[in-house]
Structure 1
Amino acid sequence: MTRASKHTDPKNRQRRQLLATGGLAVASTLVSTRGADASQSAPPTGNPVPGIEFVYEAIVLLEASTPVGETPFGRRNRIPIIGGEFAGPDIKGKVLPGGMDWQLIRPDRFTVIEADYMMQTDDGALIHVYNKGVVGMASGGEFYARSAPWFEAPNGPHVWLNQAVFVGTLGPVPERPEPAVRIRVFKVT
């Protein structure tokens, strides 16, 4: 079948119309949930460049690292999360003890972090955090420490954490005597 006949074939034309209608129905549903304001009713056009918006800074307290040993993927460490606090313009609270950071030191000397823990906001909401990232010296000799936190917040005032993508920076906390990490979280806009 030639390209021209694909476009004139009634079955293909119906299929394209169904696909287009389905896509418009999804877009229409998304638009109708945004409200009656005309400035918010049109779906985005083009390919906008994402920005970032500061959400909070956390100081996460840690116990000493427990080496697990060498694996086929690198050297594994286990670091218990024992508490901490976080604060930002729209959210504040504490990091609950009982979480864990599983680190994998790869052969390229970058460390993969996988932290899984709970935070409790000042209004009592419990938020599950899963934060995965990489830490190490980049090829240009610069220190690189970035993560992608993922949140599971209950319905209510913090549900917005479930509705966006976030990125984070990781760094030391020299002003604290105990082991700790500073995590700054940003919403990708």
Structure 2
Amino acid sequence: MSRQTTGAGADSSGPDEVTLVARAQDGDLVAFEQLVDRYESRLLGLCIRMLRHRADAEDIVQDTFLTAWRRLDSLDEPSAFKAWVFRLASNGCLDLLRRRRSRGTEAVDPADMVEELATGPSVEERAETSAAVRELDRVLVTLSPEQRIAWLLYEIEGQSYAEIAEVLGVTEGSVRGRIHRARLAIVEGMKGWA
């Protein structure tokens, strides 16, 4: 698996994130909306991959931003906004997964897991990619929620071990262990796709 590196959500044409957070803390709704624009799709992607159900993921993202707006004054360090919103969303996903487990249900919406592929690849290539994505999804659900979130934050979101540790409230060593165990399980589960 190659690690996809994504930016921190910064938009070079607008104010920097710390400025936006400070303005939002002062009640500037437009500044907060710009923060939502920067993180909404990334959080939604993470939540869909964790929960495997788009409607639940959308609810978690909406709750995350509502909570962030209401508690923005409690964020002491504006530069910690990214880790904070990822922590709120991650905790929301983990809480929902725990509730599902206690009820013995697991929501699955396969259409949410396969994004539309751009035109260009052949039908055969798209079918193979789609099958590989479904197989990866099948393997990801075998991981513990803690391993899955750590792996997704690292491999999909491109966050560092330190950032993930901050998001999850654990040590970097714990993050490394979770990602290592997740990788082993994924390699084992994806042997046919190597």
TM-score category by the smaller chain?
Answer: under 0.3
| TM-score, length-scaled by structure 1 | 0.25
| TM-score, length-scaled by structure 2 | 0.24
Bigger Rg, which one: 1
The structure where helix makes up a greater share of residues is 2
